Structure 1
C-alpha cells in the first residue's frame, strides 16, 4: 500500500527558505514514512569468505526502503555481504535524518547521500569521504506540460518554477543561471511538496521530478481530459545531464579520519563496496527480482512503481564509464564548480572554497573492482539494456 499523499497548498516563495533537515530527494509519494519502512534490514547469512569472525556494519540510507537503494538490499538478501564477512544492517531514513550527520556521529559505518548535500557539511568540518560514486548520472529533471512551451532552461523565465529546496535545487538554479535568467526576479519560485499535486493542479508550470519517482507519479495519474493515463508525449522534460548542470548524486560515504588511520576500517570499506557493487550488478541483470526484494524489505511503494524505480535507477548507473562506483573527475569538478558559483533563492552558494583532497577517493572502489573483475564480474555494463515497464494507475 502506498503512503497517503499529503495535499499541500502551494506557496510562492518570496523570501529565504527555511532550512529543514529533510533526508533528500528520491522520496516516496509522501514525506512520511511508515513504521514498517523504517525497520532496519539485516544481511542474510553468517559465513565469511576467509572463515573469520563476522563484522557488524551499519549503512544509513538517504530515505526509506525503495528501488533507489535496491543494490544494498539485494547484496544483503543474496548473501554478498555475508560472503565478505559482513553482517550489514540497513537503516532507512526519516524526515529528520541527515545521513552524513549519522555517519559523522559514529551511529553508522557508511551513509548514502548526494555529493552537493555533503560538500557543505565537509566545508563545515565534517570529515567524510566519497568512496564509491554509485550513480554516475543525475536523475533530477524539470517537467512541464506541452502547452506551457518550456523546452529549455531559458523558457523558465517568467514561469512558476517548482523546487523542493533542502539541497535539491542546485542543478535547477545552475541551469537557469547558465541560461541568463536572474533567479531573484525573473521567475516565481514555488515551494514544491514531495508529491506532484501542485503540478497536476496547475499551481506549478515546471516541477522538479526524479526520473525514478515523481515523473512516474505523473504517468500513473489519469488525465481528466482524456480519461486515460498521462503519457510521456504530454510532457516536456529538461534533463540536467544534457544541459550540462548535472551534479553527482547517490554515493557511498565513509569516515575520513578512520580511513586515514584504521587498517581494519580500510579493509572493511573495500569489502563493503565490493559486496554492494555485486548487489547493483545483480539488480541490473534481475530488475524484477530486485524490486521484489526491496518490497519484501519494507517498501510501501506499489509493485509497478517499484519496478519502474529500479529500472530507472539502473539507467543512472549503467553503462559505467570507468567501472561502477568510480568517481569521474570531470563530473566531480562540475559538481564542485556549481557548488562554488551557483546561488539559490537565498543568495548563498553551497561552498565558498574547494573541498579538501580527501573529499573523494577511488582507492577502495578500484581495489573492489579489480577483485570483481578477477572473479568474472561485469563491472562496466556496456551491453546494458533497460527493460520496458508499463505503468498503471497509482503505480500498481
Structure 2
C-alpha cells in the first residue's frame, strides 16, 4: 500500500508527540498512608478506593503501611508515612506536645466505643459501675471509658491521686478473651470488632448489656485522616509539581469515594478486604469464620461513617460543634490543658476535595 508524503509526515509527527515527555502517561505520585491498626474492614473504604482505581484516577500511587510498633502519629511525624489515620484524642494530645499534626478529614462521625457486661451481672446503668472491675486498653485508648465514668462521678484506679477509687481499671491488650468475664465485670469493646469477638466466646447478644459511649454523650471521634503541617506546606510534593495540600485533597477525595462505595456495596467491600487481612480477618474468639467477622465489621463501621454530616452530603467533614465538644471533654479530663491551636484542624483540604464550603 502506498502512503502519501503527507500521511508519512503526519504519522511521524504523531509518533514524535507520543514519545515527548509531556505527552506520556502521567506518572503516579507515590503516597504512603499509615493505618491505625491491622488491615480489616475498619478501613474498607481505603482498600476499596485502591482496588477500584480511585487513587490512580487522581494520579496517586497509594501504599498502606503495615502496623508496627510505632503509632501512626510517630510514623507520619517522622516522615516514614505521608498521611495516616488515628483517633482525635491521639491527634490533639500529640499537637499539644508540639508534634505538628493536622486533621484533614473525619471518616467516622460517631464513636464505636462501648463497655460490655453480662446481663446476669445485674449492671443496668452507668451508676452500677461503682465497685466494679473494668477492662480498659492502654496508650490513651482508655480515655472514652474514663470520660464515661467521670460523667457519672466515678473515680478509677488509673488516677494515682485517688486513694480509694470507685472503679478498678484492669488494663488488657485488646483481646477480650484474656479478661472477660472472669477478671472484669465490664470490658472495653468496639462495636465493629470486640463485641463480635465476645459473641464468639459464647455470649450471644441477648446475654450482653452494651453501653455505647456515644449514647451517653461521650462521642470522642475516632477514625480520621491527618498529615503534618510540613506536608501541607510542601510546594513540590515528591517532585510531582503539585503542592502537599493538592495531593492531600486528591487523597481525601478518592478515599471518600471509596468509603461511599464500600458502604453501598458491603459484600463486595468484604471480598476486597479478606485477601488483605490474613490472620486478623477472624479476630480472636469470633463465632464463625473470617468472612462472618468482616461482614459484621463492615456493617458496623458503615453505621459510624453514614451518620451526622455524611447524611447531609458532607462525608469527611468535621462538625465544628462536635469538635468543640470533644475539646471540652478532653479538657475536663485534664488530658488537654488548653484549647488546641488553630493549626490542629484544617478545612481547606476537605473543601478542595469536595468542592463544598465548611461552616467554621
What is the TM-score when the length of structure 2 is the normalising length? Answer: 0.82
**Inter-partner Cα distance in structure 2 for 1:148 and 1:72:** 40
- Mapping for residues 81-230 of structure 1, pairs under 5 Å: 81-94=55-68, 96-183=69-156, 184=162, 185-222=165-202, 230=203
Report Cα offsets for 1:26-69 as digits up to 9, x if no partner. Answer: xxxxxxxxxxxxxxxxxxxxxxxx95321110001111111111
2:328 alignment partner in structure 1: 337
Determine if contact 1:163/1:208 at 8 Å carries over to the other structure. Answer: yes
**Inter-partner Cα distance in structure 2 for 1:370 and 1:51:** 26
Instruction: List alignment gaps of at least 5 residues for structure 1.
Output: 1-49, 223-229, 343-348, 372-396
Determine if contact 1:170/1:338 at 8 Å carries over to the other structure. Answer: no
Report Cα offsets for 1:269-292 as digits up to 9, x if no partner. Answer: 110000000110111011111111
- Which one of 337, 341, 348 corresponds to residue 352 of structure 1? 337
1:294 alignment partner in structure 2: 273
Determine if contact 1:54/1:87 at 8 Å carries over to the other structure. Answer: yes
Consecutive aligned runs of 4 or more in structure 1 exceeding 6 Å deviation: none
Report Cα offsets for 1:314-356 as digits up to 9, x if no partner. Answer: 11010342511100112211221222121xxxxxx32211111
**Shift in alpha-carbon separation, 1:320–1:201, aligned structure 2, 3 A:** closer
The 3-state SS of whatever aligns with 1:62 is coil
**Inter-partner Cα distance in structure 1 for 2:325 and 2:348:** 21
Q: Does 1:79 align with 2:53?
A: yes
Between 145-154 and 263-272, report the one with greater CA deviation. 145-154
Shift of 1:180: 1.2
Shift of 1:201: 4.2
Determine if contact 1:64/1:93 at 8 Å carries over to the other structure. Answer: yes
Q: Does 1:274 align with 2:244?
A: no
Question: Number of aligned pairs?
Answer: 309
Question: Which is higher, the Rg of structure 1 or of structure 2?
Answer: 2
Report Cα offsets for 1:113-147 as digits up to 9, x if no partner. Answer: 11101211111111111100101000110010002
Determine if contact 1:198/1:204 at 8 Å carries over to the other structure. Answer: no
Determine if contact 2:138/2:173 at 8 Å carries over to the other structure. Answer: no
**Inter-partner Cα distance in structure 2 for 1:102 and 1:139:** 24
Shift of 1:360: 1.0
Shift of 1:199: 4.3
2:14 alignment partner in structure 1: none
What is the TM-score when the length of structure 1 is the normalising length? Answer: 0.75
Q: Does 1:255 align with 2:235?
A: no
- Mapping for residues 18-33 of structure 1, pairs under 5 Å: none
**Inter-partner Cα distance in structure 2 for 1:201 and 1:325:** 37
**Shift in alpha-carbon separation, 1:299–1:333, aligned structure 2, 3 A:** farther
Instruction: List alignment gaps of at least 5 residues for structure 2.
Output: 1-23, 157-161, 236-241, 282-289
CA RMSD in angstroms comes to 1.8
**Inter-partner Cα distance in structure 2 for 1:182 and 1:133:** 31
Q: Does 1:52 align with 2:26?
A: yes
**Inter-partner Cα distance in structure 1 for 2:231 and 2:178:** 45
Shift of 1:250: 0.6
The 3-state SS of whatever aligns with 2:243 is helix
Determine if contact 1:327/1:361 at 8 Å carries over to the other structure. Answer: no
1:375 alignment partner in structure 2: none
